[in-house]
Amino acid sequence: MATLYLASGSPRRRELLTQIGVPFLTQIAPIDENALPGESPFAYVERLALAKGHAGLAALADSDGAVVLGADTAVVLDGRILGKPRDRADALATLQALSGRSHQVLTAVALVSRERQAARVVTSQVTFRPLSQAEIEAYWASGEPQDKAGSYGIQGLAAVFVSQLQGSYSAVVGLPLCETAALLAEFAIPCWQTVPVNS
């Protein structure tokens, strides 16, 4: 069986892969995450997921029998990608813009080996209830938004902001598990490997 490497430092992605019983090693290599001129959010997340996979593969001393998983998530409002906040003012403005509205979360997952590559992009719609300025400021003060796309984490304190979700919860967290499992199966990597079987 191939050895799976995760090209991400995200603790959320590590937890999600562990949740479905897939053992992996971590191999991160830096890439340029700037969007290209005129690039759509869909094309952006797919390109970055593949780029992370290829960079991780290239960084391995021995890539024979290795499969690298890359993933990328973008929060999109009115066609604009909302990245990680630059500072407090940026985060507060982003959360105010999301307040009482629906936005899209696009997550791409890609698998890359020496022989082939494959990717999937999952789009989910998240609706926030109206947020008060005091809530927004208290949320920033918690420290949670600082390294999150769109300045929030659905798996954390911001769960109380979400009034509706259409799509994949795990994709909004950072890794669409249904699509990831299907991709892993294409590369002959089964899920539930670490689940004990009762005889």
- φ/ψ of 177, rounded to 5, equals -70, -35
- Rounded Cα distance between 71 and 47, Å, is 10
188's tokens? 């002959």
62 is catalytic: no
Contacts of 140 (CB under 8 A, 6+ apart): 88, 91, 92, 95, 151
Residue type, position 110, single letter: A
Q: Which of the following is catalytic: 32, 62, 64, 72?
A: 72
- Rounded Cα distance between 153 and 162, Å, is 10
Catalytic residues: 72
